């Protein structure tokens, strides 16, 4: 068998070697060239966008195959494609600094800025180290995705999805602790690889002029890194009182199930008792904390199954929400090429994600859809990514992204907030809307998802920022992780932990190098978006009962923001939709105001806090 190197590969390798096509090459003559000009910057940006688009598509195709057909070969192919993309991007980002301080047209200046900030994995310039870094990340993701817990060290073993399903249902404290311990035991082998990944990523970030990788990540929000960290703290301070009230109420109710020895007032909650491996989503324990007489009279999971929903119908229903707002249907290729159910013949990454393979219209969903309420909402969320991707596909390549990464996550969740009883009735999933007296139950169930998530959404990157900066060294990885979880979430590990463990690696986004603050921002933004869209729709009433389904004016407002992509700073995009230029958690507090008042009443006499 002969080896074939594509023209794309030659271009990328040439760029890495420093003798790519004119305008991108860095020769001795170029280094001694006169001061840069506007025309040179415009030419550089144009040629960089063309090259990067080719590399993005190549890497996306390789990553798709790796995620939907996990083998050693697909892992290597994905790593190689990402190495080429990362090396070229890093080299272009370094060359873009040549134009720093030059007065440029706003669009060119913004493209150069975005180019320098486009990497989440900054590659060192050394080709061997670049390849090593790409291989480490591909390997950590695959190791995470194929991890299994074998009770007693013997078959049959169970994967994360099976473990999660059991944790959602079980009320056996000893079983929950065993499952929690079993999954977290898959992470320690990643510890040394992760430490090396930090070392290499930081080297790449410093070559780009950043203090470390965490500082580079925080620089992507149209403000200075330290200013962004303060902005995140400000948003958390707005919503912390709501979280504290929810934590107090849940803890007092869990004590009734597990006893006051296991769940104590004034103390953190054991992380395995909250129905989710990371205690980031508490909806599975709703039956244990449901309000008396304030519960909706339907179970959405049961209603979906009773109405013969399968995976395809779940996704078709999500698409119909967007088309009801005036968006065009998804292309035929979406239905032909997506992975909507889990294949039986191979290992795949089931973690739900939306893909734009060619940055134009080859949109795909990768998800192992199950017929349950959680996945019904997830489908709406992931399709939000797809419709956002298509909306900005007419922008130049460097603008084909969301205003900031929190926007991308927020759009789908904004639509999911419209999965209200009026919407479910229009779908025929329920015959009548529950009485308003059931609103507390609906809001509590939603708070167990949205509000409970906030501190975890914050602390994952708080930990990584400290790791990247060197404040937390490998010798303190696990201890620092649990300090943050106790501080922000008010949870503790169910079994003793030490530095022989590597519990951060038991979370996909850590193993796969996916920044996480975007999810915290998205949870704040979705309520701000929802409030604005409901106002655009002319809705009057409690915000938690608003659905923008089939409202063309709300769709027009949403589409106008999506089409902007990353062409303008995020405050401009926020203002286009909401009329505000600052992120505001007040919308979330307003949405949950009836619940927050009720929680205050329920918590009377209990020792809140930890």
DSSP letter assigned to residue 339:
B
In the set 185, 265, 509, 563, the catalytic residue is 509
CA distance to 231, 583, 604, per residue, from 238 (Å): 11, 11, 22
Residue 509: active-site member: yes
Assigned token pair, 469: 């900066």
Residue 381 among the catalytic residues: yes
Radius of gyration in angstroms for the set of CA atoms belonging to the chain, rounded to a whole number? 24
| 30-68 pLDDT, tens digit each | 455 688 999 999 999 999 999 999 999 999 999 999 999
Q: State the DSSP code for 329.
A: P
Query: What is the predicted pLDDT for the residue at 147?
Result: 93
Please confirm, yes or no, whether 91 is among the known catalytic residues: no
The pLDDT value given to residue 32 = 59
Catalytic member of 351, 380, 408, 544:
351
Pairing, β 158-159 against β 148-149 = antiparallel
- Predicted pLDDT at 6: 34
Q: How confident is the model at residue 15 (pLDDT cuts 50, 70, 90)?
A: very low
* pLDDT of 90: 84
Choose, from 249, 392, 516, 519, the residue flagged as catalytic.
519
Is 409 assigned a catalytic role?
A: yes
pLDDT one-digit tens code per residue, 283-303: 999 999 999 877 777 889 999
pLDDT band at 9 (very low <50, low <70, confident <90, very high): very low
- pLDDT at residue 2, rounded to an integer: 34
- Active-site hit among 381, 408, 530, 544: 381
CA distance 478 to 4: 45
Phi, psi of 554, deg, nearest 5: -60, -40
Strand partners, 149: 158
- Whether residue 147 contacts residue 134, with contact meaning beta carbons closer than 8 Å, is answered with no
Q: Assess contact for 279 and 456: CB atoms under 8 A.
A: yes
Judge whether 408 counts as a catalytic residue: no
- For 114-162, the pLDDT digits (tens) are 998 888 888 898 999 989 998 999 899 989 988 999 998 777 899 998 9
Q: 157: which DSSP letter? A: P
The pLDDT, as a whole number, for residue 28 is: 45
| Cβ-contact 133, 86 below 8 angstroms | yes
Question: What integer is the mean pLDDT of 377-406?
Answer: 96
Residue 560: pLDDT over 50:
yes
Burial of 173 (0-12, 13-18, 19+ CB in 10 A): middle
Average pLDDT of the chain to the nearest whole number: 92
Average pLDDT over residues 318-333: 97
Residue 530 bears catalytic tag: no
Residue 259 CA to residue 27 CA, distance in Å, equals 72
pTM: 0.86
pLDDT for residue 587: 97
Give yes or no for residue 353 having a pLDDT over 80: yes
Query: What's the rounded Cα separation, in Å, for the pair 251 and 245?
Result: 10
Q: Of the candidates 204, 1, 165, which has an alpha carbon nearest to the alpha carbon of residue 83? A: 204
- Give the domain ranges of the chain: 7-139, 143-194+225-296+450-513
Which among 247, 385, 408, 544 is annotated as catalytic? 385
* CA-closest candidate to residue 147, choices 107, 188, 114, 178: 188
Residue 385 annotated as catalytic: yes
Average pLDDT over residues 221-230: 94
Catalytic residue among 75, 319, 370, 382: 382
Per DSSP, the residues of 397-415 read GGG-S-SSHHHHHHHHHHH
- Is residue 52 a contact partner of residue 92, using CB atoms and an 8 Å limit? yes
CB count within 10 Å of CB 587 equals 21
């Amino acid at each position: 068998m002969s080896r074939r190197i594509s023209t794309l590969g030659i271009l990328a390798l040439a760029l890495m070697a420093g003798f790519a096509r004119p305008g991108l090459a860095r020769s001795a003559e170029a280094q001694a060239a006169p001061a840069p000009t506007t025309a040179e910057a415009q030419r550089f940006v144009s040629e960089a966008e063309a090259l990067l688009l080719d590399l993005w598509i190549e890497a996306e195709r390789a990553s798709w195959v790796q995620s939907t057909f996990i083998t050693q070969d697909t892992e290597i192919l994905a790593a190689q494609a990402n190495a080429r993309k990362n090396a070229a991007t890093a080299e272009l980002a370094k060359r873009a600094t040549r134009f720093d301080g030059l007065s440029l047209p706003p669009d060119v200046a913004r493209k150069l800025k975005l180019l320098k900030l486009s990497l989440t994995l900054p590659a060192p310039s050394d080709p061997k180290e670049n390849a090593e870094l790409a291989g480490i990340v591909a390997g950590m993701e695959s190791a995470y995705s194929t991890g299994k817990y074998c009770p007693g060290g013997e078959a049959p073993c169970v994967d994360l999805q099976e473990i999660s399903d059991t944790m959602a249902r079980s009320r056996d404290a000893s079983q929950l602790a065993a499952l929690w311990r079993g999954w977290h035991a898959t992470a320690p082998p990643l510890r040394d690889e992760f430490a090396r990944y930090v070392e290499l990523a930081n080297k790449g970030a410093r070559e780009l002029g950043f203090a470390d990788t965490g500082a580079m990540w925080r620089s992507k929000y149209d403000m200075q890194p330290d200013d962004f960290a303060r902005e995140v703290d400000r948003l958390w301070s707005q919503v912390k009182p709501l979280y504290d009230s929810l934590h107090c109420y849940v803890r007092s109710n869990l004590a009734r199930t597990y006893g006051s020895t296991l769940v104590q007032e004034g103390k953190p909650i054991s992380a395995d008792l909250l129905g989710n491996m990371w205690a980031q989503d508490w909806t599975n324990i709703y039956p244990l904390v449901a309000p008396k007489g304030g519960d909706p009279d339907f179970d959405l999971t049961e209603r979906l199954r009773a109405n013969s929903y399968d995976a395809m119908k779940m996704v078709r229903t999500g698409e119909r929400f967007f088309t009801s707002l005036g968006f065009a249907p998804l292309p035929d290729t979406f239905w032909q090429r997506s992975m909507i159910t889990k294949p039986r013949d191979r290992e795949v990454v089931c973690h739900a994600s939306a893909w734009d393979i060619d940055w134009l219209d080859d949109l795909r969903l990768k998800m192992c859809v199950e017929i349950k309420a959680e996945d019904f909402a997830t489908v709406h969320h992931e399709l939000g990514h797809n419709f956002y991707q298509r909306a900005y596909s007419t922008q130049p390549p460097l603008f084909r992204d969301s205003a900031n990464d929190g926007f991308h996550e927020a759009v789908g969740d904004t639509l999911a907030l419209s999965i209200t009883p009026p919407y479910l009735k229009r779908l025929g999933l329920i015959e009548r809307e529950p009485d308003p007296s059931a609103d507390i139950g609906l809001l509590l169930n939603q708070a167990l998802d949205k509000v409970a998530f906030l501190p975890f959404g914050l602390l994952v990157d708080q930990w990584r920022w400290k790791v990247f900066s060197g404040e937390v060294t490998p010798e303190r990885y696990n201890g620092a992780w649990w300090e943050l979880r106790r501080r922000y979430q008010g949870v503790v590990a169910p079994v003793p932990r030490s530095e022989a463990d590597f519990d951060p690696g038991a979370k996909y986004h850590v193993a796969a190098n996916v920044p996480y603050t975007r999810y915290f921002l998205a949870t704040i933004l979705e309520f701000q978006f929802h409030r604005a869209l409901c106002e655009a729709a002319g809705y009057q009433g409690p915000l938690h009962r608003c659905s923008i389904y089939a409202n063309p004016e709300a769709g027009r407002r949403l589409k106008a923001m999506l089409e902007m992509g990353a062409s303008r700073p995020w405050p401009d995009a926020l203002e286009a939709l909401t009329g505000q230029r600052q992120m505001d958690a007040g919308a979330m507090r307003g949405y949950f105001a009836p619940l927050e008042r009720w929680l205050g009443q329920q918590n009377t006499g209990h020792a809140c806090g930890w």
